[in-house]
């Protein structure tokens, strides 16, 4: 992949160059020392992926991410030396379309773990942006059509998801009558911080989903590990490693399909902004089961990938602007 580096620290830039050089398929095509220069260089020579630092003297990484995704869209990986300290900015950048975050590697041998993580995330991003079509998924057989009173809203999101989730959750009232389960593409080390951040913006309580949790009305559960969240036949949640070949962990498709197999109440599937195709087939299976399915529209997506894939296969009953999705849910479950 062709890579642009945005960082004003020479040692950090050199560390990134050395890590990238370990993978012959990757090439650094330019280096920017601040966000303003990064936006200009993306316009002149658009890379496949940008390694974006957060703290810079001119135009920080959050604003640069927003500008690049608006003007010259490409994959952006946040690279920062202190993820926990900069967690709010990380989620802001992800809200504007950044795909993921990783620690900045150093020049010392002790940072081999960070180097390996960076290469793994570059590999995953390469797979996402180079994906041609999706893996075939056989629609699960469902013979039980009787609905029980339980209600659930299943929401999947990826790049741009944090900001979209905040916008949606803010509009749900305190007496919302359905359970809500979120599957956002985010590493488990950031999941707790994201749950706390979403809780601070929502009228409803938000926490990480735990094994054997039963989704309850008026509560929001967030998938919290790098394994897949699934609904079991007894109506409780669990985590599983399979399918191991899924590049997205946790996978939206896996969760949606588990609802199709095992959920005996009513359900709504919602697919928000994101790169790639995860969630599109699962949303289609939910529609085939008779559930209401909603995809975010192009105009309000930070990255129109997953909803576009859903629209292409007619997986969504309705395609709505972001600010109309929560009102639809509230009216549907009134």
**What is 81-144 written as a DSSP string?**
S-TTTTHHHHHHHHHTT--EEEEPP-SSGGGHHHHHHHHHHHHHHHHHHH--S----PPPP---
pLDDT per residue, tens digit, the chain (334 aa), is 999 999 999 999 999 999 999 888 899 999 999 999 999 999 999 999 999 999 888 899 999 999 999 999 999 999 988 887 888 888 889 889 898 888 888 876 556 667 888 888 888 788 777 643 333 333 344 433 333 358 999 999 999 999 999 999 999 999 999 999 999 998 888 899 999 999 999 999 999 999 999 999 999 999 999 999 999 999 999 999 998 887 788 999 999 999 999 998 899 999 999 989 999 999 999 999 999 999 999 999 999 999 999 999 999 999 999 999 999 999 999 8
Where is 32: in which H helix or E strand? strand 27-32
Active-site residue identified among 26, 96, 185, 285: 185
Within 13 A of 228's CA, how many CA atoms are on the CB side? 23
In whole angstroms, what is the distance from residue 81 CA to residue 55 CA? Answer: 10
Domains of the chain by start residue, with CATH:
2-130 (3.40.50.2300), 151-332 (3.40.50.180)
Angle at which helix 61-71 crosses helix 87-95, to 10 degrees, equals 10
126, burial (CB in 10 Å: exposed 0-12, middle 13-18, buried 19+) = middle
What is the reported pLDDT for 117?
84
Q: Look up 285 and say whether it is catalytic.
A: no
Q: Look up 185 and say whether it is catalytic.
A: yes
User: What's this model's pTM, rounded to 2 decimal places?
Assistant: 0.79
**Residue 294, both tokens:** 């909603």
Q: What SS3 class is residue 229?
A: strand
| Strand order through the sheet with 318-320 | 206-208, 220-222, 179-184, 151-157, 266-271, 292-296, 318-320
296, burial (CB in 10 Å: exposed 0-12, middle 13-18, buried 19+) = buried
CB 93 within 8 A of CB 65: yes
What is the reported pLDDT for 110?
52
What is the reported pLDDT for 126?
83
CB 93 within 8 A of CB 62: yes
**Residue 269, both tokens:** 């599937």
Active-site residue identified among 33, 158, 202, 258: 158
215, burial (CB in 10 Å: exposed 0-12, middle 13-18, buried 19+) = buried
In whole angstroms, what is the distance from residue 55 CA to residue 49 CA? Answer: 19
Q: Look up 258 and say whether it is catalytic.
A: no
What is the reported pLDDT for 135?
39
What is the reported pLDDT for 133?
38
What is the reported pLDDT for 171?
97
Active-site residue identified among 48, 278, 285, 297: 278
Residue 283: closest CA among 204, 187, 148, 183: 183
122 backbone dihedrals φ, ψ, rounded to 5°: -65, -40
pLDDT in tens, 168-220: 999 999 999 999 999 999 888 889 999 999 999 999 999 999 999 999 999 99
In whole angstroms, what is the distance from residue 304 CA to residue 45 CA? Answer: 22
């Amino acid at each position: 992949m062709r890579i642009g580096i945005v960082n004003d620290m020479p040692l950090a830039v050199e560390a990134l160059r050395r890590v990238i050089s370990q993978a012959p398929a990757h090439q650094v095509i330019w280096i920017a020392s601040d966000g303003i220069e990064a936006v200009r260089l993306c316009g002149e020579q658009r890379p496949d992926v940008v390694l974006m630092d957060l703290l810079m003297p001119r135009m920080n990484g959050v604003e640069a991410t927003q500008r690049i995704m608006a003007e010259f869209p490409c994959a952006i990986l946040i690279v920062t030396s202190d993820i926990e300290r900069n967690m709010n900015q990380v989620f802001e950048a992800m809200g504007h379309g950044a795909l993921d975050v990783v620690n900045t590697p150093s020049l010392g041998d002790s940072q081999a773990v960070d180097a390996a993580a960076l290469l793994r995330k570059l590999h995953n991003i390469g797979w996402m942006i180079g994906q041609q079509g999706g893996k075939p998924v056989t629609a699960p057989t469902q013979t039980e059509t009787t609905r029980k009173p339980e209600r659930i809203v299943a929401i999947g999101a990826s790049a741009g998801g944090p900001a979209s989730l905040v916008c949606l959750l803010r509009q749900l009232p305190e007496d919302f009558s359905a359970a809500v389960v979120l599957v956002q593409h985010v590493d488990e080390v950031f999941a707790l911080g994201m749950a706390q951040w979403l809780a601070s913006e929502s009228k409803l309580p938000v926490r990480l989903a735990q094994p054997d949790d039963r989704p309850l009305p008026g509560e929001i559960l967030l998938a919290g590990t790098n394994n897949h969240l699934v609904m079991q036949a007894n109506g409780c949640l669990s985590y599983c490693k399979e399918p191991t070949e899924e590049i997205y962990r946790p996978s939206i498709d896996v969760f949606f399909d588990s609802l199709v197999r095992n959920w005996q109440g009513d359900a709504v599937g919602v697919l928000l902004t994101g790169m790639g195709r995860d969630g599109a087939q699962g949303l289609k299976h939910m529609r085939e089961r008779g559930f209401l399915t909603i995809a975010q529209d192009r105009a309000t997506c930070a990255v129109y990938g997953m909803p576009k894939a859903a629209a292409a296969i007619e997986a969504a009953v309705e395609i709505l602007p972001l600010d109309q999705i929560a009102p639809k849910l509230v009216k549907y479950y009134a």
